[in-house]
Amino acid sequence: MPESTTNSFQYYPIVIEDSYPLTRDEIYNKFEKINIFTRKYFYPACCDYECYKNNKSIIRTNLNVVNDIKNKVLCLPFYGSLNLDVVNLICNKFNTFFKE
């Protein structure tokens, strides 16, 4: 990132659906291997934190959406000085992951 740029630590979230040939974690690992740093959003979910695991007020069977989405959201890099070459690299790599 250029010195004149301040990182806002923002990301572009995408949802990796069950129908995709790779999981969110597999895609995360592939990006990490090529030094493109993504983030897993909603992971772990707050209800999974140790301090809440035995909380009887949390009815785990009522957390279907949380349990579904916490393993699907991947946030791609997104910041003000992100140039088109990097955007194209991310998109091209993402596409090639499914062809490997």
Q: What pLDDT does residue 1 have?
A: 60
Is the pLDDT at 9 greater than 70? The verdict is no
Q: What is the pLDDT of residues 27-84, one digit of tens each?
A: 999 999 999 999 998 878 888 888 887 887 787 777 888 888 989 999 998 877 788 9
One-letter amino acid identity for 2?
Answer: P
Which residues make Cβ contacts (< 8 Å) with residue 73, sequence separation at least 6? Answer: 13, 14, 15, 16, 24, 40, 41, 42, 43
Q: What pLDDT does residue 16 have?
A: 93
Split at pLDDT 50, 70, 90, the class of 7 is low
CATH architecture of the domain with range 11-97: Alpha-Beta Complex (3.90)
Split at pLDDT 50, 70, 90, the class of 91 is very high
Report pTM: 0.77
